[in-house]
Amino acid sequence: MNQPLPRRRFLAQSAQAGFALSTIAVPAFLRAGAAPNARIRIGIMGVNGRGSDLAAGFSALDGAEVAYVCDVDERAIAKGIHAISSKQSTQPKTVEDFRRILDDKEVDALAVAAPDHWHGPATILAVNAGKHVYVEKPVCHNPQEGEWMVAAARKHGRVVQAGTQRRSMPAVVEAIQRVRTGAIGTVRLSRGWYTNKRGSIGKGKPAPVPAWLDYTLWQGPAAERPFRDNLIHYNWHWFWHWGTGELGNNGIHALDLCRWGLGVNCPQHVTAGGGRYHYADDQETPDTLEVTYDFGDKIIIWEGRSCLPRPLEGSSFGAAFYGDQGTLVIEGSSYRIFDAQDHEIAHATGPGDDRPHLQNFLDCVHSGAKPNADIAEGHQSTLLCHLGNIAWRAGGALSLDPQRQRIVGNSKAAALWHREYRAGWQPRV
């Protein structure tokens, strides 16, 4: 077989050949001699968890200032302020309603880290208001919102970056290049996975809304549901009304890599099997799920085990590519290559932080270029998550028209392409 090139030689030959993937841009801070750009002012929506990480990340970059910290939980505001306190000298404004950020003409961008049901509507409102957007994964709650997000970004010429940060990690970018340039031969199969040992969410009961929470604003665009004591802050992931299950929560990262490496978009057929097996509680989404995406000449398999932590390929999270001359496994921010006899013949490890991805967003706001995880790419990868969930909820199998990207022959499944909105919150492009 043709042995994969050593890492340095591979990179040198790629550079000589002018090789580049259309989705890859080099962050400014990695370009020697790049001068700091004018500061971009950003509002952070949702800082109880991931949003505080984004606040810390953006405030640490020379080209950004966190101008607003926003959350419907008044206790979380302090988390957001603390996240940036040692990284920028200016104090951010604090608001409960993110629409106040959109009203400020001095703000350039919004980072959306609220629950899944907010990602699409908040992004569309922000783009309509002239803001650029960094939106966490999954980019939307349902396929229709993803289509609207792409349309809104293009209509208004705004940069929208999806929070699939591995698209900017140097070793991961290198791994995808090696898959796509034949380092393991012809690749027709990719597998993504996530394993964990999550506990039960229990049986919730109706309860008074806590004084620290604006529950009406937390629900936002989602049709109203009574408050329950096992919903906020994390368990909303496991209810279809607000979340997208483990597939949208962690599967998006692996499926994005699988789709990127194989160079595919919409499958022809999707099959899904699994269930909620481990606990008799309120969780609606499966804790064990396997999904197969058939693209005609290539296949992606997803395996999610939220309550069975034993790893696959030595890692609790990852994506693997199986070629006719070897295998490449991505885990975290590193990768390994095995030959056809299963001997490890190459590996590389790179930084695993968000800095390259956040900087790429800032660079593209200045240049107008498409970011590494442009919303169109984020939508296509998130669509795989939705199709897996829809298949599981609607009988276990779907057929699609890949060109039109529409479900065919299954009205129950097709009805899950969109959602019901609370009065006055229907997104408008």
Task: From first to last of the 429 residues of the chain, give the pLDDT tens digit.
Answer: 333 334 433 333 333 333 333 333 333 333 333 334 489 999 999 999 999 999 999 999 999 999 999 999 999 999 999 999 999 999 999 999 999 999 999 999 999 999 999 999 999 999 999 999 999 999 999 999 999 999 999 999 999 999 999 999 999 999 999 999 999 999 999 999 999 999 999 999 999 999 999 999 999 999 999 999 999 999 999 999 999 999 999 999 999 999 999 999 999 999 999 999 999 999 999 999 999 999 999 999 999 999 999 999 999 999 999 999 999 999 999 999 999 999 999 999 999 999 999 999 999 999 999 999 999 999 999 999 999 999 999 999 999 999 999 999 999 999 999 999 999 999 999
- pLDDT of res. 37: 47
Which runs of consecutive H residues, i.e. helices, occur in 17-128?
50-59, 77-84, 99-103, 116-128
Domains of the chain: which residue ranges? 24-166, 170-203+216-352+375-417
CATH annotation of 170-203+216-352+375-417: 3.30.360.10
CA dihedral 231, 232, 237, 241 (to 10 degrees): 60
Tell me the C-alpha distance between 116 and 237, whole Å: 8
Tell me the C-alpha distance between 324 and 314, whole Å: 21
Query: What is the DSSP-derived secondary structure letter of residue 224?
Result: P
Residue 40's nearest CA partner among 139, 158, 154, 145 is 158
For 258, other C-beta atoms within 10 Å of its C-beta total 26
- pLDDT of res. 50: 95
Scanning the structure block, which residue is given the tokens 């000449």?
Answer: 297
Tell me the C-alpha distance between 338 and 358, whole Å: 32
- pLDDT of res. 38: 85
Tell me the C-alpha distance between 101 and 109, whole Å: 9
- pLDDT of res. 1: 35
* Element at 259 (helix H, strand E): helix 252-262
Secondary-structure class of domain 24-166 per CATH: alpha beta
Q: How far is CA 143 from CA 148, 153, 309, 317, 411, in A?
A: 9, 16, 30, 25, 15
Tell me the C-alpha distance between 125 and 100, whole Å: 12
- pLDDT of res. 382: 98
- pLDDT of res. 309: 97
Which runs of consecutive H residues, i.e. helices, occur in 93-204?
99-103, 116-128, 143-156, 170-180
Q: Which residues contact 117 (CB under 8 A, 6 or more apart)?
A: 141, 219, 220, 221, 222, 241, 242, 243
- pLDDT of res. 6: 41
Which runs of consecutive H residues, i.e. helices, occur in 319-409?
355-367, 375-393
Q: What's the pTM?
A: 0.91
Say whether 170-203+216-352+375-417 and 24-166 share the same fold: no
Angle at CA of residue 23, ends 167 and 17, nearest 5°:
110
Q: Is 15 helix (H, G, I), strand (E, B) or coil?
A: helix
